[in-house]
Structure 1
């Protein structure tokens, strides 16, 4: 018996018990991406789901599914879309129906589709893109993976960039035909030609891989990769998914699966189908499978004998399109019959004879009606139908006024060719399998077989011209002029790639934008997704002259309470901006005290950046001086004048300069003063704002200390006055009684003269001693005073 499997198929079977009638598990599935062929980027997405045929479970199966498209380079999501169920479920055909019914094997195929339009210019990443469809769940009876009932599926397909080297890249994913429903007998050498076909003639390579699990736990969720692998149980892996001698493997060129099993069970495995064009990988599809291995009773294997009616011992026949051939087998009422076309079970073909009208390789599988045993396989009968495979393929495209298309007619027999357009025979063409045209129309070929004389028409190819490419140039600024010291971005539309010309010379790249840096005539040639070209009207770009901007100086003012004054800039028409500016007037009052930058901006054109001149408007503070009106000192004293200034003065002038170490300092040193004097300080800040102040200094020649006073309240001589003490602000006076106790101490300065009391109590009349410290460099004065009551 040969090995038969499902496309993306997961056999869900528990060896020791039948599948529950109401259960429905996801058995497998696949994604296909078919180029519709009318417009680049127009695709039909097909999702094939294989399910257990549980009546109630199937009724709950969703009629839609959600898929995502992602960029391979960074897993960025490009699109989410929904596929819809296309029709009623179809049953999977078994060659040994008795054994299938005994084991309650019954599976259905549901197909979902969606038509999507992808923009080639958006899908241009060189690493390509992928589509994923995630669903769940697997059968709990699987024997080679961990937690199978908690493990889902990820159907996965990769496709290349749709725009390559400025041209649309046409491609469809591999196609996989119908599948048979079978189980595997332990110990038998099973083989199954599992390879698909590629609509574009690309090379397909096959390898065993680990199946993908679902990334999330929801049903039909959409999330970016990478996707997790299923978890193998110990001893299993991608190259030992089904134990055998040899274990399950796939032919890397043909896709044929083979295994000689050594262990009963239900086993998961997966095959990766990679798509190559000119030696470069452009895509892949991952297909997930499960196979049930059972112990088949050792019954006698039926040996069917087949032939073409009336042609014994001849294994092939050629017939004309519309004719038929009858295939017949030996009749045995104890046998089940199942005819196959190209290795796939033909639904309903269960009789000993079969009438065929289609080209292909036919074979017969027979099995015992009442016994579940091994099956017998017949030899292959080949039927060739003249014109059955007569297909047209088209290469090229007709642009609005240019272009050509090559048409190719394929046939696997020796035929002659006649070409037709719009129902009219194209005379003068050689009888070969191809032709070239530059005219639109509906084309087909009539094929005549040279031996039998059969005639057959190919399918019809409708060739039409695409709309003219309208190339248009617009400037990003809206004006066709270049601003001074700048460039102008020109934008092109109408195509997917572009060629720029300046004064008839090619410049730039294939980008849709170009930075024009000089005055010239610019043209762009736009190329659309078909490779058709259109040339724009010339766009003349001019260069604006540079603007020379001047801004008259702004006089500084003292304080904000001065009138506003005009600002003057050239050329006229510019804009003044800054604190205190209204139109072309500057108001110190609005601006306030400070240094205010004012700009004058003139644009060569409204869209241009302005040329800017800047001035500083100074509203200076008016200086102030904090200086006492007068002071006293003693003759020969040296001290520093310490006025407090505000308003940022920078010039200082004292008058007179007598006794000063410098008349131009802010804080001059008064040295060895000898007599009374008046000083005037005159200050100015950098703006010229001025302030003056005056101080009069009284100089005492000596200090007079009275030797008595009479604190009797008569208003005369009631306190001990020290005449000239003002000249000694650091003076300290201390008075003692006869026992040397301190009864008075002034601290620094003699601001509260001694009044003959101690703590508010009058002291008795008598003589009291005192000490007087005037300045540190002079000796202490000692003496006595008489207090008279």
Structure 2
């Protein structure tokens, strides 16, 4: 119902826009990543005979996108074209065209999202109509075109870009003149390409020249008119053909007119066909006036001697290159009009002819096929010595028929049995034959075995199950089935007949695995010795007395050590003993002394069961020595085995630090002083527990400090501090508030205790200047009591006079607040 309605809406438009202007087209795609694709269509139109209004109606094209598995319509996209590009390519050098031909190329490009879909997608465009004068299809003026391409399933092929033709086709070709045109394509993915002719597709008609959307796949093909078909879409001698490998298109047209052809490029990945690009195009064949044309026959020969018939037009001179360098430089070239060339062997040769006159130079090259016995060769007769699978093949793959003696008709056969094989291949009038004889006469015997001997070689080597009626040759000179081996080394044998031979080798080896740990050893003091069993043949196993399976072991202990080596069934062993006397001496670590050195050093007693002698650096020979000076001091002990050991110790000395924290002193009451031990020491310790460089004291007592320098030396100093009770400090702290509430905290003013100094006096006044306290009359501190009418007053003025610690009289004043 969807398509019926769409067609009905555009029916009237389609009636007005039908025209015979379509020359051809092709569609290709590019995968831009993820789900994004770019679709491009090249549309070729006849700009000479085509109606301008019809060409203008193609300003926009409508593309249909279909499900590649079930052909269901998915969506449509309308795109405006770019162009035109006026095509002018002509595959001739020296002709004059007297007829008018015009072909324009328009390009339609769009990008669209195409998610992964089972079966992929089909992109299609349809347009009617083709030129009325086309000769090779029925009803050309009422036949349209379908240009389409299938995008493969990305579930099978993660990414793919379609092949793109390198060149646009020629706008016309000349009657009776040879055409050689490169119709190859490129592939961005590096896939393999092959080429063939195909039958173009029709689509749309005069009633619906621009169907929107295009019809669902599959699409119908054009109808060939009488005598034409897919492999012969136009008259020619030779007829139209395309090289399946190179894409080279060749034809020599034999009549004028317009002909529809289809060129297909197939895309192969890992031997699997994954896509196709189709080009539907109209060839315009015209009568051309040739200035000069290079052309020749024949193109096939059943003889190595070929007489070339020069069909060039208007030429005054010629230059031939037969593409056969094996025939020699001189023979491979000619300047004759109709030369004769003897080809070196059968094969395909690119023969080139250059023809010229004073106006122009034309060149023609073509693949000449020489089908002769020389070069058609299955090879020499051959006899196999082992089971075989081989392939016999004929050169070239363009025969009309191939018949093998096996009944097969392919260009090759696979063989695996002896016999006589022949092949007959027919190419036109050329019949080629060849025969080959395949034999199979193997010789065989059981393989010889290598042998390992623990001491001497003495064994018999024999060929078991040897092929009868064969000859034997041993490396010992024996020519019978057995020989005797008495020496270490390789023994070779050959069993042979007239065609085949089999060689084998047996290796006789003596197990050279005797370890050598050396002589017994006596060592002094601490040691580390490595025992190496030696370089042994591959596969040798090792076992030491400590359980190690390595080639070598290391030890630092005395005792007996053995190793056993094993290679298959052979074993060897060796033993070594280590004796050791150890002299111990330890004078201790280097030491530092303060002010003087006075120490006895002891080198230590001899080891149990030994006697020893002593020697000190001061030449004393006792076990101990008294040291009273700095420097290095050493001792050496030598035991009765001759083993000795020594040790060295170094003594350093520095003078203890000198400190002075001052002379004994007297201080005033509440007048702290600072005691300092001086800077530059690593540690301080006062009898107060302080660890700082200095302390403050304000009470009587004896104070002392111990300092330690960076060498660890110490010294101590002390001072006696006394307090003069008759002296007050130079500055007295007087609080500005107190709380006479009986809690024994700040209950009196200014101090908790009475000040009994004769020079001390404190007076307190209320705000009216009335004196309410005088320490001369009441030495006890003020408890905040006043006259009754002053009980509510809370701010008072005080004046204090006293003699300071420096002997001068001081006067201070301020206010005091009672907090009740």
TM-score, with length taken from structure 2: 0.32
TM-score using structure 1 length: 0.33
Q: Which has the larger radius of gyration?
A: 2
